[in-house]
Amino acid sequence: MMRRSTMLKKLHENVCKVTFTKANGENRVMNCTLKPDVLKEVLGETYEDNAESRDTNEVITVMDTDKNDWRRFRVDSVTSFE
């Protein structure tokens, strides 16, 4: 399993494809990022680089690039990270 710190590093550099198991047991595939230029493009004037302030050691908050909205996933629920 990939470490949380590695996930965060990759999310700050790229749009990543994360597959994880939701709390209800469903699998979800999400294209997401924390890359500043993508966040500024999506959020415009409201952009602030504070997504990690909502995180815990178990959860990462990201921008879902398909929905253009913030989403969260549990690190221990990730089955694939590309």
Residues 55-72 have pLDDT tens digits of 678 999 999 999 999 999
* Per-residue confidence band for 47, with pLDDT thresholds at 50, 70 and 90: low
pLDDT at 8 over 60: yes
Which one is the CATH code of 4-81: 1.10.10, 2.30.30, 2.40.160, 3.40.50?
2.30.30
- What pTM was computed for the model? 0.85
Output the six-digit token pair for 53.
């302030």
| 78 burial via Cβ count (<10 Å: 0-12, 13-18, 19+) | middle
* Per-residue confidence band for 2, with pLDDT thresholds at 50, 70 and 90: confident
What's the DSSP call for residue 49? S
The reported pLDDT for the residue numbered 20 is 97
